[in-house]
């Protein structure tokens, strides 16, 4: 069965927006000695994370990765599980969470609380896609590449449907 899709954001649109976001993010950090721990939320954010990090020019940047689970097939359960923890000590560090998509907000709320408990200096969030109409908790990203104004299931550029379509270089809406 062929997946029916509609391209929402082309590879060029994504590339341009990622460059712009990298500049905004860099300008938001004070010029201090604290490391900036850039945290990729695996697996969906990996392509966005890689492209964003290539555009950022700051010797304080450190990479780390975390894996959480809250989805079963195409829907969020709201029950967040820490599958793989990060390795970095974030105490007194700037933390930049790099997410693929924020919908319910449960994962983001979990992460912000998690890093507050670990005494991070500050926690900022950048997301590739924001779905504010799906929000279940009152939380907003600091930086957003694209806002989805209507309900849609998205694949491509790291986002999947049952682990498929992550490698597509654009962002597509699945048409039912």
Residue with structure tokens 């209507």?
Answer: 150
CA atoms within 13 A on the CB side of 155: 17
Q: Is 103 a catalytic residue?
A: yes
3-class DSSP assignment, residue 124 = strand
Which one of the listed residues 103, 130, 142, 162 is annotated catalytic? 103
Q: Are 55 and 18 in contact (CB under 8 A)?
A: yes
Q: Are 161 and 152 in contact (CB under 8 A)?
A: no
Report the distance separating Cα 127 and Cα 155, nearest Å. 15
Cβ-based neighbours of 93, under 8 Å, separated by 6 or more? 34, 35, 36, 37, 120, 121
Q: Are 25 and 51 in contact (CB under 8 A)?
A: no
Catalytic residues: 103
């Amino acid at each position: 069965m062929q997946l029916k899709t509609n391209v929402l954001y082309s590879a060029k649109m994504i590339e341009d927006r990622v460059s712009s976001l990298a500049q905004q993010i860099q300008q938001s950090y004070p010029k201090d000695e604290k490391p900036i721990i850039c945290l990729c939320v695996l697996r969906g954010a990996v392509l966005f994370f890689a492209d964003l990090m290539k555009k950022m020019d700051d010797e304080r940047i450190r990479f780390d990765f975390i894996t959480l689970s809250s989805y079963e097939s195409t829907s969020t359960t709201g029950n967040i599980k820490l599958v793989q923890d990060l390795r970095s000590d974030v105490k007194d560090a700037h933390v930049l969470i790099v997410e693929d998509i924020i919908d319910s907000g449960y994962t983001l709320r979990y992460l912000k609380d998690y890093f507050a408990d670990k005494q991070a200096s500050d926690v900022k969030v950048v997301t590739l896609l924001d779905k504010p109409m799906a929000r279940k908790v009152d939380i907003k990203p600091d930086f957003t590449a694209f806002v989805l104004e209507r309900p849609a299931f998205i694949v491509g550029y790291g986002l999947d449907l049952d682990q498929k379509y992550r490698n597509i270089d654009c962002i597509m809406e699945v048409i039912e």
